[in-house]
Structure 1
Amino acid sequence: MVQSQLDDTLEEKVNQLGKKAEQAEQAQSIEAKVNRARDNIQELGRELDSLDTAVSTLLFYDKILTDVFGDERHEEVDQALRRARDDSEISDEDVLDAAEDRETSSLTWAVDDARQIVRNARSTVIEEIREHQRYWEDEIESARDLNQIIDGGSTGFDSILDDMESFLDSEIWDEDKNPSSLASRWNLLQRKWEQNAGKHGWDSFQGEHGLSDETVAALQQFADHGSVRLDQLSVSVIKEMKAVNELESAIRLEIDTQ
């Protein structure tokens, strides 16, 4: 009888211990699920922050292209912004439901895809900006060569060219700057550029003074080497140079006596 009661007590304790172990295992399993859900939600939050940063960057360069350089907005930009808006409009209930069903990864993937689309649109916009940059760099280089001949490169116009180069090389790429302020800055530089229309480069200078291609070629040689040999010039070229006041005093002609 005593032995039977002892056996029953031991069996009850074993059952209790088994239940406690099962409860502890379940608790650990629940805790692990909660931790995974928390980690997934945090990852989704990081992806959303990254998407928001990518959108801000895209909007900055879109403003540079449209407000500073006057281009139309690319359709790719509108598409990217719509995709970003659609995939980032996630309610708290959506996140909690997805976390409970272990589906947060699908939300994260959608946000990551949207971010890549935004980045692709940004690359397209930046390439368009670089086309403007390359165009103006060529214009500035040509104007600088001509200004070196006419005024020795020490005039106020040369300072304007320096400001334009600085604007194109650094200012428009500084995402901390205000695009509207940059647009005003570029407009001011453009007005100063137009005020020196006769110094814009070889084409404008040639047209303004009616110079021949042969004369312009000689001027370009002068810009490269600093002097022109008289025996390399035709009479017509010399006459054209002497007819332009800025050139007559600026160009030094060397006679080859060998």
Structure 2
Amino acid sequence: MSRSQSLPTAVEALEGKAKEHKQAQNTQHHLSIAEFNIRELNGELDELADRLRDLRYYKTVLEQAFGGSTPTMTVDAIQMAEKATDVTQDDLLENVQSDDVSQEEPVLDETGVDSSGRVEVQLTAEVETQISQIKTAKRQIKMATDKIQTLIENGDEDTSWRNSNEWKEKVRAAEELQSILGSQNKKFNQTLNQIRRLLNRDLMDSSDRATKFVHQWERATSNWEKHQSLQSFDAFQEEHDLSDSTVEEIRKLSKSEQVTLADVALDSLEEMKSVDELESAVKLSL
């Protein structure tokens, strides 16, 4: 049989166990603080990365697809984002820990536990400062992205490139002319459909690669340029040397199912008959 411990020895043993338990609690508390800080910081960094990806997408589309110039605020926004995320691994590990992590004696007591028995944690001052910087960078990135989107849609004072709204108007004009001509050029119709899809659906889908959009846009606009006379009434008029009155007659005829010769001026009729596409597309009756 083992001898019973003396009272002082038993007390010391109990104090040792209590100290070990508090140390374990204290370690877990610091781990919880670090995990919470890392989780919050990662969430902000993920959102910043998403906004940077959107910015780079629209920047590439503006410059390489439409030929526009990126506003100077874009560079400032990117630099701010880089500064907000410029933290070394050692700095990060230090920042996510509470100030008392290096203390030898355990400091966790009942004030560190909520009513449910869960350890209360909060952001460290360093992480709170970094998150504030990241949020500021996110706002700047969003402002730069919005500005670029506006430029893509509406353009700027530089008239050397067409914005997306101008392209939409040109596609509508070409479709109107194609409708009058009876959609006789299938390849050009395919080009119009592709440009419309790129402008209405793919352009604002930043989840895809910008280089993919640029490649498809270059191919579509290259096909567009091959059909100069079919792009609008003005181009069609110039290509076939038609008078303004004939073009106006064509527009009227396109809105009617049947017209008589009395509805069309003789000069205009002769001009129409000289154009193969119009002769087969416009049908007149006595």
The CA deviation string for residues 58-114 of structure 1, in whole angstroms up to 9 with x for no partner, is: 112211111111212222221211111111111233334433352111111211221
Aligned equivalent of 2:217? 186
Aligned pairs for 1:8-47 within 5 A? 28=25, 31-47=28-44
Structure 1: gaps of 5 or more residues: 1-8
Aligned equivalent of 2:46? 49
- Quickly say closer, same or farther: Cα 1:19–1:181, change in 2 above 3 A: closer
Q: % of aligned pairs identical?
A: 25
Pick aligned residue for 1:139 from 170, 175, 181: 170
Greater alpha carbon shift after TM alignment, 60-69 vs 28-37:
28-37
The CA deviation string for residues 151-182 of structure 1, in whole angstroms up to 9 with x for no partner, is: 44453221221222223233334445443343
Give the Cα separation in 2 of the matches to 1:240 and 1:151: 18
Pick aligned residue for 1:201 from 215, 228, 232: 232
The yes-or-no answer on 1:160 pairing with 2:191 is yes
Aligned pairs for 1:88-167 within 5 A? 88-99=85-96, 100-101=98-99, 102-103=124-125, 104-131=127-154, 132-153=163-184, 155-167=186-198
| Contact 1:202–1:216 (CA under 8 A) maintained in structure 2 | yes
| RMSD of Structure 2 on Structure 1 (CA) | 3.2
Secondary structure at the counterpart of residue 145 of structure 1: helix
- Quickly say closer, same or farther: Cα 1:207–1:227, change in 2 above 3 A: farther
The yes-or-no answer on 1:65 pairing with 2:88 is no
Give the Cα separation in 2 of the matches to 1:175 and 1:68: 14
Give the structure-2-normalised TM-score: 0.71
The CA deviation string for residues 36-79 of structure 1, in whole angstroms up to 9 with x for no partner, is: 23201221122112212221221122111111112122222212
Greater alpha carbon shift after TM alignment, 47-56 vs 122-131:
122-131
Which amino acid is 1:106 matched to?
A: T
Structure 2: gaps of 5 or more residues: 1-6, 100-123, 155-162
Q: Size of the alignment, in residue pairs?
A: 246
| Contact 2:237–2:243 (CA under 8 A) maintained in structure 1 | yes
- Quickly say closer, same or farther: Cα 1:228–1:215, change in 2 above 3 A: farther
Aligned equivalent of 2:110? none
